[in-house]
Amino acid sequence: MGRVREGLMSILVNKNTRLIVQGITGRDGGFHTLKMKAYGTNVVAGVSPGKGGQEVDGIPVFNTVTDAVNATGANTSIIFVPAAVAADSILEASEAGIELVIAITEGIPTLDMVRVMPYLKKNGTKIIGPNCPGLITPEEALVGILPGNIFKKGNIGLISRSGTLTYEMVNQLTTNGLGQSTCVGIGGDPVAGLYFEELLAMFQKDPETDAIVLIGEIGGDAEERAALFIKNNVSKPVVAFIAGQSAPPGKRMGHAGAIITSGSGSAAEKIAAFENAGIPVARKPQDIPLLVKRQLQYNS
């Protein structure tokens, strides 16, 4: 029921998304449920063990994800439960047949996510996060903690490791007349779900996306792998920005994954990887709109 189809006016979420909120009766879960519902997201149920039968702003609450799925045909879940039980909540959603999980919770132990990932793969469950702001298809569905008012419907896809920079970059795009098809905050934890390559492939197939903005960070080699993937598999224009360009080696910059070690993962190396693949890299966020417009003109 209500299956989300990639390439239908967006990637991952759209008007057909039927969302449940795990942790809906908690402070954060309740607050953001109201925000998502007000934006127009089809929030069909909440899950909070022991509180089944209650309602949150007219949204029915169930004791288990299976009960919620059986009653509502939900296909997507967002996680707002404490870190200690978040991995089990993700597994519960996957076992109940949820196709896409967005894990907002931060501080989930890395070993918990290592344990969870093989089960999600076996069940065919996609996951965004953990420790992420979620995603949005403007004017269709907001699933996360993103400020919906800064987004505008359009044809630019965005993938970001940095939550705060996502907002800054989207604000730059919107104020320069560049609306977005879908924006995804992937989070910066060492073990995470859908990442640059999978999302780039989705945007490449999406008829509503004409160009892609990629926001990376120092640490790891995800951006270098993304640059190679773009060179070999993505024909649409891509513009990149790397956060942490002034970070000294060995300094941790907010995210668990954003640390430069053994001389690798530096901003300079990541920028070089993109430029070697023919992808322009903005030095400042405010440079992104001009670069995107230039790339669209070159490819028109």
Distance between alpha carbon 23 and the CA centroid of its chain, in Å? Answer: 19
Residue of 32, 126, 255, 270 with catalytic role:
255
- Tell me phi and psi for residue 175, to 5 degrees: -70, -15
Based on the residue annotation, tell me whether 255 is a catalytic residue of this protein. Answer: yes
Quote the CA–CA distance of 20 and 45 in Å, as a whole number. Answer: 5
| Type of residue found at 139 | E
- Tell me phi and psi for residue 75, to 5 degrees: -125, -5
Contact criterion met (CB below 8 Å) for 80 and 23: yes
CB-based burial label for 284 (10 Å; 0-12, 13-18, 19+)? exposed
Quote the CA–CA distance of 89 and 94 in Å, as a whole number. Answer: 9
Contact criterion met (CB below 8 Å) for 74 and 42: no
Q: Give the largest Cα separation in the chain, rounded.
A: 57
Contact criterion met (CB below 8 Å) for 248 and 154: no
- Residue that is written with structure tokens 């965004």 in the block: 128
Distance between alpha carbon 189 and the CA centroid of its chain, in Å? Answer: 12
Catalytic (active-site) positions: 255
